[in-house]
């Protein structure tokens, strides 16, 4: 029962262009969504989050969009830089439940 | 301030054995969560401890158990190891429980069960 899905296992983007990573969820109880970035041999690190009462949150080059009716969120990175090459996980949680549910990840490769 | 550390880095066990994985949280962090990440999958929540008490559990059998100590260290114990337990085990600490508290992950312990 995969409640959080990332359907693209990998994505390659030219340096300087926009990277768009997508995530879908099935559980309508989720009310908080997060993106994590993971480099090899390191643990995931928090990148950006969004509450279900918002549809957009921006932090520097990173913007997360949430479409509740479609149960879809996306992470935009612009401009993409070589250091952005990593695996990106989206995750979801609902208040009152401590279980953070992760997607399967998307490996982003930025081509110089 | 040191980050979250885990030991050992790698471990090889055989089916039926027991294993203990260790995590050292950031100082002052009252909450630790453990995750299992199988190859090609995202991390799956095992359980969370808050101030030394279990505070939530995922869909893992009772042979997965944990402890949290007052010195910000914690353990994940797995009994009667199975081949499917082979995975990367991650711990994450946060100041308090609750989704608005950022979780800081350790680098993980890679467990191989033969």
Nearest CA among B91, B92, B94 for reference residue B29: B94
- For chain A, the average pLDDT equals 95
Per-10-residue mean pLDDT of chain B, 114 residues long, equals 89 98 94 95 94 93 96 96 98 88 94 98
Beta carbons of B97 and A91 less than 8 Å apart: no
Chain centroid to CA A102: 10
A86 touches A106 (CB < 8 A): no
CB B94, CB B103: distance < 8 Å: yes
* pLDDT category of residue A2 using cuts at 50, 70 and 90: confident
pLDDT-derived band at A96 (thresholds 50, 70, 90) equals confident
Binning pLDDT at 50, 70 and 90, where does residue A79 land? very high
Instruction: Say if the Cβ atoms of A97 and B41 lie within 8 Å.
Output: no
Task: Report yes or no: A1 at the B interface, CB cutoff 8 Å.
Answer: no
Reduced to 3 states, what is the DSSP secondary structure of residue A83? helix
Nearest to A43 among B4, B40, B48 (CB): B4
**Strand runs (DSSP E) across B15-63, as ranges?**
19-24, 31-37, 44-50, 53-57
B40–A42 C-beta distance less than 8 A: no
Identify the band that residue A98 occupies on the pLDDT scale cut at 50, 70 and 90: confident
Site of tokens 């989704």: B99
pLDDT at A1 over 80: no
Binding-face residues of A in 48-87 toward B, CB within 8 A:
none
pLDDT tens readout for residues A6-55: 999 999 999 999 999 999 999 999 989 999 999 998 999 999 999 999 99
- Please give the pLDDT value at position B97: 84
* Interface-testing mutation among A47, A100, A102, with chain B (most B C-beta atoms within 10 A): A100
Confidence of residue A99 (pLDDT cuts 50, 70, 90): confident
Query: Is A82 in a helix, a strand, or coil?
Result: helix
DSSP state, residue B15? T
In this predicted structure, what is the pLDDT of residue B78? 98
Q: Is B74 on the interface with A (CB under 8 A)?
A: no
Task: Specify the 3-state DSSP secondary structure of A13.
Answer: strand
Residue of chain B minimizing CA distance to A5: B42
* Interchain contact, B40 vs A104, CB within 8 Å: yes
Could you tell me what percent of chain A has a pLDDT over 70? 99
Within B1-114, residue ranges assigned H as helices are none
């Amino acid at each position: 029962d995969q409640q959080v899905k990332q359907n693209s296992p990998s994505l390659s983007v030219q340096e300087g262009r926009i990277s768009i990573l997508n995530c879908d969820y099935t559980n309508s109880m989720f009310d908080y969504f997060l993106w994590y970035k993971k480099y090899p041999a390191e643990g995931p690190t928090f990148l950006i989050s969004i509450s279900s009462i918002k549809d957009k949150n921006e932090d520097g080059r990173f913007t997360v969009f949430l479409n509740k009716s479609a149960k879809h969120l996306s992470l935009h990175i612009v401009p993409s830089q070589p250091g952005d090459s990593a695996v990106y996980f989206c995750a979801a949680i609902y208040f009152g439940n401590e279980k953070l549910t992760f997607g399967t990840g998307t490996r982003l490769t930025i081509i110089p | 301030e040191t980050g979250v550390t885990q030991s050992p880095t790698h471990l090889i066990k055989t089916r039926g054995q027991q294993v203990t994985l260790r995590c050292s949280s950031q100082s002052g962090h009252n909450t630790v969560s453990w995750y299992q990440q199988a190859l090609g999958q995202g991390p799956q929540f095992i359980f969370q401890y808050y101030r030394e008490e279990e505070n939530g559990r995922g869909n893992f059998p009772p042979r997965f158990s944990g402890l949290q100590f007052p010195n910000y260290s914690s353990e994940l114990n797995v009994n009667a190891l199975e081949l499917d337990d082979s995975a990367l085990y991650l711990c994450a600490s946060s100041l308090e429980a609750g989704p608005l508290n950022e979780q800081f992950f350790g680098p993980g312990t890679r467990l191989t069960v033969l």
